[in-house]
Amino acid sequence: MLKIKQEDLHKWITIAIIAATTYLFVTNLEKIFNCIIMIFKVLKPFILGGVIAYILNIPMTKIENILKKNTKMNIKTIRIISIVSSLLFFLAIFIFIAFLLIPELVENIQLLIHNLPGLISKTETWILNLLDKYPDIQLQIQNTFSKTNNTNNLISNILNHLANKSVGFISNLISSIATIFMAIIFSIYMLNQKEFLIESSKKMIYAFTKKEYATKILSIGKLSNITFNKFISGQCLEAGVLGCLMFIALTIFQIPYTLIISVLTAVTALIPIFGALFAMMIGIILIGITNPLQALFFAIIFQIVQQIEGNFIYPRVVGKSVGLSPMWTLLAITVGGNLFGIIGMLVGLPLASIVYALIKNKINKLTS
């Protein structure tokens, strides 16, 4: 009778388990994906809270160090003051931008409403001239309307659709506000107990992994924390530089709303691609209501300044902060953006810096 060794048996059992797990994973991929999305939705406030806590921790730590050196307050009091000060700092930035931007937007919306009859008249004339020039377009419009029962039904359907969209928008807005509120509360708890959370995480890593692996994981975690801290600081510095450049350029060419657009550009620069696009669109709307040609000129200036900043200043400011040369910085941003979009652009640079540091340390150890 054929005897099977215990080691071989364990190996075949392991292979069978892996094969069965892989089969179940592949055949139920859609269900697993939906389950992950559902879990992410449930944990969304806590994930967002962790991100907020990580960002707030940067100014909070600096405030704590200043208070520890210059005051004799106890640690708990210093922690509370530091958390509140960090929150107030970001809240003050938000309020400043809101008070700067909203009045101008309201004023321009009122101006747009005042000029709306003239714009409608011009648009109507343009459409009529277009229909006279291209009869095929007029025939297509007539065919589209003839397929509906009557114009009233068409308008009714459009209004119902808009009403449903409005209800959905209000519902999503309330849900988003509730999520952000929960995330901020959770971030405060995390900041207040960050030493306990860090220590607990270390104990868990040592408990479930070998000591050498645990040490390596913590070493990479420490390096990642330092790199991401430098990246965030560098990103904020870069946003300030871009805002100043925009202010100088718009002042030279006497573009209106210089301060508003410059501040908005600096703030939205923290969001790759869409941030700059949002700032440019707001600027075009503000300027275009009174002078469309000047709005086009502004868009050209905006693109030139952004290209100068993105290709020459960003790699040196942010790249230097995370320890990468301008060439590797551009490569990391480009590859990250092409592979994973906005998220890839946000984390591509610090991740590339971490990989670069790990490889550099390994080479130094092997060659020393």
Instruction: List, for residues 262-320, the tens digit of each pLDDT value.
Output: 888 888 887 655 677 788 888 888 788 778 888 899 999 998 998 887 777 777 776 66
| Helix boundaries (H) for the chain | 6-27, 29-70, 75-133, 135-146, 151-192, 194-208, 211-252, 258-268, 274-288, 292-308, 314-321, 326-367
DSSP string, 243-297: HHHHHHHHHHTT-SSHHHHHHHHHHHTTSTTHHHHHHHHHHHHHHHTT-HHHHHH
The pLDDT assigned to 138 comes to 60
Does 351 score more than 60 pLDDT? Answer: yes
Contact 314, 303 (CB under 8 A): no
How far is Cα 324 from Cα 357, in angstroms, rounded to an integer? 9
Report which residue type is found at 200: S
Contact 346, 234 (CB under 8 A): no
The Cα 332–Cα 11 span in angstroms is 41
CA distances from 7 to 4, 12, 17, 41, 346 (A): 9, 9, 15, 43, 47
pLDDT computed for residue 248 by the predictor: 93
Q: Which residue has the tokens 């924390």?
A: 225
Task: Give the span between the Cα atoms of 228 and 321, in whole angstroms.
Answer: 10
Other beta carbons within 10 Å of 150: 9
Q: Report which residue type is found at 107.
A: E
Q: Phi/psi class of residue 292: alpha, beta or left (left: φ > 0; alpha: ψ in -120 to 50)?
A: alpha
Quick: pLDDT tens for 159-183.
566 566 666 667 777 877 888 889 8
Residue 81 clears pLDDT 90, i.e. is over it: yes
Which residue is associated with the tokens 């573009």?
255
User: What's the CA gap between 288 and 115, in Å, rounded?
Assistant: 12
pLDDT, one tens digit per residue, over 125-146 is 777 777 677 776 666 655 655 5
Give yes or no for a contact between 323 and 356, defined as CB atoms under 8 angstroms apart.
yes
The model's pTM is 0.67
C-beta atoms surrounding 305 within 10 Å: 19
| Least trusted range by pLDDT, from 16-25, 108-117, 227-236, 252-261 | 108-117
Taking the C-alpha atoms of residue 64 and residue 362, their distance in angstroms, rounded to an integer, is: 35
> How far, rounded to the nearest angstrom, does the alpha carbon of residue 108 sit from its chain's CA centroid?
28
Determine the pLDDT at residue 1. Answer: 44
